[in-house]
Amino acid sequence: MSRILGLLFLVTLVAAPSVARPEGAGGQRGGGHAGGGHAGEGRAGGGHEGGGHEGGGHDYGGGFVPRHGPAASRGAPKGHDHGYVDRPGHPNAPHVHTDGNWFGHDGGRSDGRFHLDRPFEHGRFPQPLGFGHVYNLGGGDMRRFSLGGSYFGVAPWEYGFVGDWLWGSDPSVIYDDPEHPGWYLCYNARLGTYAHVQYLGNF
């Protein structure tokens, strides 16, 4: 009997760390690589069931994680009155090509929609940002969703860009927005799309 109890204790001890992982801590930590990828870039792990666009097979999405966020715009702001489909098969939303080019983040600092009287009103996201720090969306919707132990909300005028996100599982990365104080960019590695988000505080 004591052998069986000892074996049960050992199995429980070995299995406990994988079960006790905190919500939102999923995905890649550290190097940001999980499989192939391009030189200097990475891929978020795991496929997802549940429909929606899978990314991949194109030159965006499919688990690709850009090494860095977008550069600040130079020159006159570019409008996207005709949408964001820059190549056949690409999404009609701001997205990142697998060469690291952030398509659609070229509106410049003068876009009044992003002006905040009190930037970072709820503080700053306390977890690491960018490449190597992939978090799984942990529930909610575009108005308020959890990620990495914190809450975020998508900019209301960008709700149309996130309609196919899987709010309970998609691997995502938070980057600083280089042009709009108080805003972050939430990049969905499954789809290759991103949206402006505000940090709303911790759980």
41, part of any domain: yes
89 within domain boundaries = yes
End-to-end Cα distance, the chain = 44
Domain assignment of residue 28, yes or no = yes
Query: In whole angstroms, what separates CA 203 from the centre of its chain?
Result: 18
Does residue 181 form part of some domain? yes
**pLDDT tens column, 17-38:** 333 333 333 443 333 333 333 3
Number of folded domains that form the chain: 1
pLDDT tens digits, 144-186: 999 999 999 999 999 999 999 999 999 999 999 999 999 999 9
What per-residue confidence (pLDDT) applies to 76?
Answer: 58
* Closest residue by Cα to residue 194 from 70, 31, 46, 43: 70
Q: Which residues pair with 135 in a beta bridge?
A: 172
- Is 122 a domain residue? yes
Hey, which residues does 146 pair with through a beta bridge? 151
Q: What string of DSSP letters covers 16-73?
A: HHHHSPPTT--S-BSS---S---TT-EE------SSS----SSSB-TTEE-SS-PPPP
Backbone angles phi, psi at 7, to 5 degrees: -65, -40
51 pLDDT more than 70: no
* Weakest mean pLDDT among 20-24, 70-74, 83-87, 193-197: 20-24
**Could you give phi then psi for residue 18, rounded to 5 degrees?**
-75, -30
Identify the three-state secondary structure at position 15.
helix
d(CA 52, CA 55): 9
Q: Which two tokens stand for residue 13?
A: 């001890």
Please indicate, yes or no, if residue 192 is contained in any of the structural domains. Answer: yes
The answer to the question of residue 6 being in a domain is: no
Domain interval for residue 146: 22-203
| Per-residue model confidence (pLDDT) at position 30 | 36
Q: What is the pLDDT of residue 197?
A: 98
Mean pLDDT to the nearest integer, 84-106: 91
